[in-house]
A and B are shown apart, each in its own frame.
Chain A
Amino acid sequence: MLSELGNLSVLISIILSFFLIFFSLRELKLNLIKPTSKIINLSRLQLSFTIMSFIILLLGYLFSDFSIINVYENSHSTKPLLYKVSGVWGNHEGSLLLWINVLVIFSYLFFKKNIGVNKKFQLLTLIFQNILILGFFIFLVTTSNPFSKIFPVPQEGLGLNPILQDPALAIHPPLLYLGFVGSSIYFSAALASLISKFDGKNFATVSKPWVLISWLFQTLGILVGSIWAYYELGWGGYWFWDPVENSSLIPWFLMTALFHSILVLEKRDGIYLWVIILSILTFTMSVTGTFLVRSGILNSVHTFANDPSRGMFILTFLSIMIFSSVYIFYKFSPTEERSFKFFSKEFFILTNNWFMIFFLITVLIGTIYPIFLEVLTSQKISIGPPYYNTVLAPFLIPLLFIMAYGPKTSWIISKPFKIKKILFTLLISSLITFFIIFLIDQKNYLINILLISSLYLILQSLFDLFKNLDNKKQKKTFVNKSSLVSHLGFGLFIFFISLNSIMSIEYDLNIKVGEKKQLNEFEISLDDLKVYDDKNFKKFVGDVTILDNKNNIIEKLKPEIRIYNSPETITYEASIKSNIFSDTYVTMSNISRSEFYNIKFHKKPFMNLIWLSTILIVFGGFLRAIGRKF
């Protein structure tokens, strides 16, 4: 029943997409000032039916309708409500439906918001967006229909992978999708803008909010994902430079570059073509990432159940997207004349773009190089954290200094640096770094310089922030507070990451129940092991005590080994005691054919502060999104 309804509403949405394209094309030729209400109504209908198809799938999960294969494969009647809901997008088919929903929602909102801006631009954007929608609907129907039926109807579902049964992971995919699928709207708008010869300045004004919104969600999505990885994977880290993490980071670099450079276009009417290129690239890269993940080409923790025909479809679609964008770009791109002075906001923003593109290219090369190498020479190599750290980290140093100055510069031509102030700030940040080096054993040059430069950015942003809060009268020296907040957040982020990387302590030991192990400055004992039965899993809980040199108890922790029954999976739950300055982190696993347990003990400083500084980065963007005053 639900299955038929689902298929029906998908079908209606597809037909509505055709209608939208058809009528928009017709209205393009008519002599109108703005699109007629027919288009808006069609768009609204499309929105309703697409959301309805999603709700129907959701109902399938809520009522455990196992006649739908997708529900049968990914749900279970005893599963908690939250994970029934998140199960909808915890699999390929459902997440594709979510993807399409985001495409449609953004399409509708963009259309609604910009009525009367420019008829041709608006209709063309709608057409391009609907071509995307149609493409993904066809993908959904032909290779990954979430509403396919199964007969005879099974009594019970197979259950959701326990590692995905987690609140952070329940909201991680929707956030990310709002980010990188949201970028589709400025992809479409960029192509439309080229063809309709839309004014560059207006294009910037119209698409700026969408870039910012998608960036906000993308950042949050990445943050939630890495928080999840930190406590759920039990590996003690929060970023693994996993290919799939990389494919969420690549669009992030582009969005960051874009919402900086779009300001140049808005305020100075320059670099129109570059902004267009970035807009097109962001969504293209998002789809490329999806292709790499869903086709199973990459070896990664995120790999979904994959299927070559899906890979082929996305690859074909991607190629069409790229070729037609390149064609439209060459055919319609206008002549542009612009020059910049060295000391201007324009220049600083372009420098940001330069670094972002460098980061992007490095991450991209690191992600796809092994694939190409294997295809061409059948040699297999791995590219992991050491590569990215070596190549990327040194470039953060100049970036941090540039970020300290960017927000203060003015358009066209800025006042020269005040050398004395720069040196003073440098002096203070070096002193603080010096003090830190003194406190902890520290041997890494790169980290020392990173500490100095991130402190420099932090101090500079704080000075500027306080200065701008103070004298409200001085409107002449208007400095964007939201960007100061975000830059401050980034400075703190790098500062805490650097400290975390050098101050983390970790031990990996094998221990029997009742045994004690002496480490350098700690003593660890596994006092007891208890077995409990829970609703849908059985768990072994270890009692781990951490003592210091003088035999004082520092922490008592309870890491778990969980054995889920549907589907049968073993997961290792980290036990984390966390405060603002430091996390104590223990995971436990059994070693097969022996009575030993493997205990990983981490002391990880400033984890919460790393999360908080990322939230500060997002907060800056949020301030900008809600009001022009900031």
Chain B
Amino acid sequence: MKNFKQLFISLIFFGILFSNLFANDNLQNKIYKNLRCIVCQGQSIADSNSDFANTIKSVVNDKVNEGMNEKQIYNFLSQKYGDWILYNPPLKGNSYLLWILPYVFFIIGAIVLFFLLKKTLKHKRY
């Protein structure tokens, strides 16, 4: 029994360790996907064939070649086009609620379930 657990835990541990050795995702493609094509209807830069998308693609390529990292590129583009262009809204004043609310509801759900379990609930409505 104990052996099982130990084996398992070490497996997971090694899995995670091992897996971190590799990293070869294509940076440009990743960035394209996280940008909205702002002249299209709900398309990302990666998906779109528009002139705007092609321009942004070459801008991103240039910036990557200049040695900017992902975050710097997002900052650069959002300064120019606003947050509207970013598909992954950065955590700041106007998006705190967006990132926090789902977890709040998850916890509320847990509390409701807990009380349902804990005792026979007498309730009119919930």
Contacts and interface: CB of A to CB of B under 8 A. Distances in A.
Interface string B95-126: 10111011001100110110011011111111
A595 interface: no
B15 A273 contact: no
Nearest to B61: A508
Contacts of A341: 117
A369 B98 contact: yes
Given A382-B83, A506-B29, A358 B109 contact: yes
Given A358-B106, A382-B84, A508-B29, A448 B15 contact: yes
A48 B19 CA distance: 63
A333 B83 contact: no
A350 interface: yes
A588 to B, nearest CB: 9
B46 A338 contact: no
B109 A301 contact: no
A347 interface: yes
Interface in A207-254: 233, 235-237, 240, 242-243
A362 interface: yes
Nearest to A330: B125
A31 interface: no
Given A235-B43, A354-B109, A381-B83, A365 B126 contact: no
A205 interface: no
B8 A427 contact: yes
A134 B125 CA distance: 31
Contact of B15 (A274, A427, A434, A572): A434
A386 B102 contact: no
B102 to A, nearest CB: 4
Interface residues of A, number: 77
Contact of A386 (B21, B34, B94): B34
B88 A384 contact: yes
B19 A443 contact: yes
A336 interface: yes
A338 B102 contact: no
Contacts, number: 177
Nearest to B106: A358
Contacts of B86: 381-382
B19 A384 contact: no
B42 A243 contact: yes
B19 A379 contact: no
Contacts of B36: 382, 384
A265 to B, nearest CB: 14
Contacts of B105: 357-358, 361-362
B5 interface: yes
B70 to A, nearest CB: 12
Contact of A333 (B44, B49, B124): B124
A335 interface: yes
A589 B49 CA distance: 7
A381 B90 CA distance: 9
Contact of B116 (A233, A340, A385): A340
Nearest to A437: B19
Interface in A285-315: 299-303
A445 B23 CA distance: 12
A386 B124 CA distance: 41
A364 to B, nearest CB: 9
Given A387-B87, A598-B49, A437 B125 contact: no
B20 interface: yes
Interface in B31-71: 32-34, 36, 41-44, 46-47, 49, 51, 54, 57
A126 to B, nearest CB: 26
A534 interface: no
A237 B4 CA distance: 40
B121 A441 contact: no
Interface string A575-600: 00000000000000101100000100
A387 B97 CA distance: 13
B25 to A, nearest CB: 8
Contact of B42 (A237, A299, A337, A591): A299
A40 to B, nearest CB: 35
Contact of B47 (A235, A381, A427): A235
A240 B120 CA distance: 44
Contact of B121 (A337, A362, A448, A572): A337
Contacts of A365: 98, 101-102
14 contacts: A242-B42, A299-B41, A337-B120, A342-B117, A354-B109, A357-B105, A381-B94, A382-B87, A384-B34, A384-B88, A385-B87, A387-B87, A390-B88, A444-B19
Query: Closest 7 interchain pairs by CB?
Result: A384-B87, A386-B88, A235-B47, A441-B22, A589-B49, A339-B120, A362-B102
Interface of B: 1, 4-5, 7-8, 11-12, 14-16, 18-26, 28-29, 32-34, 36, 41-44, 46-47, 49, 51, 54, 57, 82-89, 94-95, 97-99, 101-102, 105-106, 109-110, 112-113, 116-117, 119-126
Given A333-B125, A423-B8, 19 more contacts: A335-B124, A339-B116, A361-B101, A369-B98, A380-B84, A382-B36, A383-B89, A384-B44, A385-B87, A387-B88, A424-B4, A427-B7, A427-B8, A427-B11, A434-B14, A442-B19, A442-B22, A507-B26, A598-B54
